[in-house]
Amino acid sequence: MDIPFRADGILEFLDEGGAVKRRIAIEIAESDSSKIRGLMDRRALPELGGMLFVYDRLEPRSFWMRSTPLPLDILFLDGDDTVINVVERTTPFSDTHIESAGPAGHVLEVRAGATARWGVGPGTRIRWRRVEPES
């Protein structure tokens, strides 16, 4: 059984002037268990969807793709929600460590190739917010 995507929030990529250049739905990984699980065993992710990992402290972050069948782009964000670095087109099921280029407070995973299509890279700012679940 596939794990369904859950839209917990909205994330926006901003241009240099602060205007929204792309808006996506995000699933928010905040608990220890949700951060450990991430997108493991997921076979689908919406084109305009992603998973945002929220941390209490800024520190170097390291991810891997073990048990993750989807290739992803992984974005590491600093304390000002500015992209530090992007690792594009990760290798599914790999144990290779994917690391931030500096201390990160948030990490965003999106479908492979999305960052290139959206024109997102180091220096891009984001903003995000939670949305109320649909009843």
For residue 65, is pLDDT > 70?
yes
- Look up the domain containing 71 and give its range: 9-129
For residue 14, is pLDDT > 70?
yes
Strand partners for 25: 10, 49
| Alpha carbon distances (Å) from 124 to 48, 53, 101 | 17, 17, 15
The answer to the question of residue 2 being in a domain is no
Mean pLDDT score, 12-19: 95
- What pLDDT, in 10s, does the model give residues 79-112? 999 999 999 999 999 999 999 999 999 999 999 9
Q: What is the CATH number of the domain that holds 23?
A: 2.60.120.1140
Where on the phi/psi map is residue 92: left (φ > 0), alpha (ψ -120 to 50), or beta?
A: beta
pLDDT at 134: 63
pLDDT at 1: 57
pLDDT at 2: 77
The answer to the question of residue 14 being in a domain is yes
Q: Give me the number of domains the chain comprises.
A: 1
Beta-carbon contacts of residue 119 (< 8 Å; ≥ 6 apart): 21
The answer to the question of residue 26 being in a domain is yes
The answer to the question of residue 3 being in a domain is no
Mean pLDDT score, 25-41: 95
